[in-house]
A = this chain, B = another copy of it.
Amino acid sequence: MIHSDNQILLESVNEEVWRRRREEAYKRFLEDIEIGYVDADIKDLIFTVFTKKNIYTTSSCSGRISIVDSVYPWQRDEAYVIFKKHQPLLLSELLDVVNQKTLHRLWLIVSGPIIHFNALNLSSANKLLNIVRAAGFKHSGILSIGSGGIVVEVVSGIWVPFLLKDGDTIVVNDFKRIVDIANEMLKEGKQKLEKLFKFLKNVDI
């Protein structure tokens, strides 16, 4: 990387490597559909992205509800994921987990959609960021710039943990209400994804 008087010169994205990785990602996506790994709510959006010239997706989630045993809800490595679902949660499913022994704290976590894109060049990355922000995904940004491409993380800002138990002490007094609010938030996320799909459909990128 060189910084001249008038221009910033970036290490170039290697287009050949980028095209090959895009093909690999597409093959993996088709395989994942066959196995049943792909989240049904996001399948059409990803198919649409694979018709674009300068971007592809590497990973994605349409939004989900999980139940996690950890001291803090932001932990990954030290957390036990006990339950995970991309569709609305049932009260009975929640109570099944609540009735088990809790090691640290029990958190119900609602996450909105999240998609990682890889763009061939900075102008496509910028264009993508403008589109997703207009669609309401305001927390999106560039994670890295390298020869393999420009990685753009698209996130909705919907991420809400509910503390259910602290050790074995229940801290919530109405589980039905928590389930209803969590499902309402999950739905908000899926609607944001629908809006993003509409914005991406007809754009030349």
Contacts and interface: CB of A to CB of B under 8 A. Distances in A.
B177 A171 contact: yes
Nearest to A112: B74
A160 B6 CA distance: 44
Instruction: Tell me if A's interface is mostly helix, strand, loop or mixed.
Output: mixed
A178 interface: yes
A10 B10 contact: yes
A131 interface: no
A172 B7 CA distance: 56
A174 B171 CA distance: 7
Interface in A161-205: 161-163, 166, 169-174, 177-178, 181, 185, 188
A178 B171 contact: yes
Q: How many copies does the complex hold?
A: 2
Contact of A141 (B8, B143, B163): B143
A26 interface: no
A171 B171 CA distance: 9
A163 to B, nearest CB: 6
A147 to B, nearest CB: 11
Interface stretch (A39-47, A60-68, A151-159): A151-159
23 contacts: A3-B123, A6-B12, A7-B12, A8-B9, A8-B10, A8-B121, A10-B10, A72-B158, A72-B160, A73-B160, A74-B157, A74-B158, A126-B145, A141-B141, A141-B142, A142-B145, A160-B161, A163-B178, A163-B181, A166-B181, A169-B177, A171-B177, A171-B178
